[in-house]
Structure 1
Amino acid sequence: MKICIVKLSAMGDIIHAMVALQFIKKEIPNAQIDWVVESGFRGVLENNPHIDNILPINLKSIKKNKSEIFNQYKILKSYSKNNYDIVIDAQGLLKSAIVSKIIGAKIIAGFDKESIREGIASFFYNKKVHIAYDANTIDRNATVICEPLCIKITGEKIINKDKFLFSSSHVENLPEFFNLFVIGSTWESRNYPKEKFVEIADALKIETFVVCGSEEEHQKALWMQEQSEHLHVLPRGSLDELKFVISKCSLLIGNDTGPTHMAWGLNVASITIFGPTPTNRVYVTPINRVVKSKSEVNHYKLNKNDFSICEIEADEIVKIAKELLS
Structure 2
Amino acid sequence: MNSAKIRIAIVRLSALGDIINTAVVLQIIRKYYPDAVIDWYVEEAFAPIINNHPLLNEVIAVPMKRIKKTKSVTLLRETIRNLRSRHPYHQIIDAQGLLKSAIVASMLPGKVHGFDRASAREGLAAWFYDTTSHIPYETSVIRRNVMIITEALDIPFSDTLIEQKTPVFSRGSDPYENKISLVIGASWPSKCYPKEHFATLCDLLPYPCYLIWGSEREYDDAQWIAQHSSNAHLAPKMSLSTLVSFIDHCALIIGNDTGPTHIAWAMNRPSITLFGPTTERMIYPTPINIGIKSPSEVDIFHINRNDFSINQIDPHLIAAKAKELL
TM-score surpassing 0.5? yes
CA distance in 2 between partners of 1:181 and 1:48 (Å): 26
What residue is the counterpart of 1:266 in the other structure? Answer: 267
The match for 2:25 among 20, 29, 33 is 20
What residue is the counterpart of 1:242 in the other structure? Answer: 243
What residue is the counterpart of 2:43 in the other structure? Answer: 38
- 1:59-108 deviation per Cα after TM superposition (whole angstroms, max 9, x unaligned): 1012222224x424423432443221111111111111111111121x11
Matches within 5 A, 1:99-178: 99-105=104-110, 107-166=111-170, 176-178=177-179
What residue is the counterpart of 2:298 in the other structure? Answer: 297
Q: 1:270·1:287 contact (CA, 8 Å) conserved in 2? A: yes
CA distance in 1 between partners of 2:176 and 2:137 (Å): 42
CA distance in 2 between partners of 1:187 and 1:176 (Å): 31
2:325 is aligned with what amino acid? L
What residue is the counterpart of 2:82 in the other structure? Answer: 78
2:152 is aligned with what amino acid? P
What residue is the counterpart of 2:72 in the other structure? Answer: 67
Q: 1:94·1:118 contact (CA, 8 Å) conserved in 2? A: yes
CA distance in 2 between partners of 1:200 and 1:67 (Å): 47
- 1:172-221 deviation per Cα after TM superposition (whole angstroms, max 9, x unaligned): xx993111000010111111111111111111131111000110000000
Q: 1:209·1:233 contact (CA, 8 Å) conserved in 2? A: yes
Q: 1:12·1:258 contact (CA, 8 Å) conserved in 2? A: yes
Alpha-carbon offset, residue 167 of structure 1: 5.6
Are the structure 2 counterparts of residues 210 and 239 from structure 1 closer, same or farther at C-alpha, using a change threshold of 3 Å? same
2:269 is aligned with what amino acid? V
Where do 4+ consecutive residues of structure 1 move more than 4 Å?
Answer: none
Q: 1:48·1:164 contact (CA, 8 Å) conserved in 2? A: no
2:251 is aligned with what amino acid? S
Alpha-carbon offset, residue 127 of structure 1: 1.1
Are the structure 2 counterparts of residues 233 and 175 from structure 1 closer, same or farther at C-alpha, using a change threshold of 3 Å? farther
What residue is the counterpart of 1:280 in the other structure? Answer: 281
1:321 is aligned with what amino acid? A
CA distance in 2 between partners of 1:292 and 1:262 (Å): 19
1:114 is aligned with what amino acid? A
The match for 2:11 among 3, 6, 10 is 6
Alpha-carbon offset, residue 156 of structure 1: 2.4
Point out where structure 1 has 5 or more consecutive residues left out of the alignment. Answer: none
What residue is the counterpart of 1:52 in the other structure? Answer: 57
CA distance in 2 between partners of 1:244 and 1:119 (Å): 37
Are the structure 2 counterparts of residues 310 and 109 from structure 1 closer, same or farther at C-alpha, using a change threshold of 3 Å? same
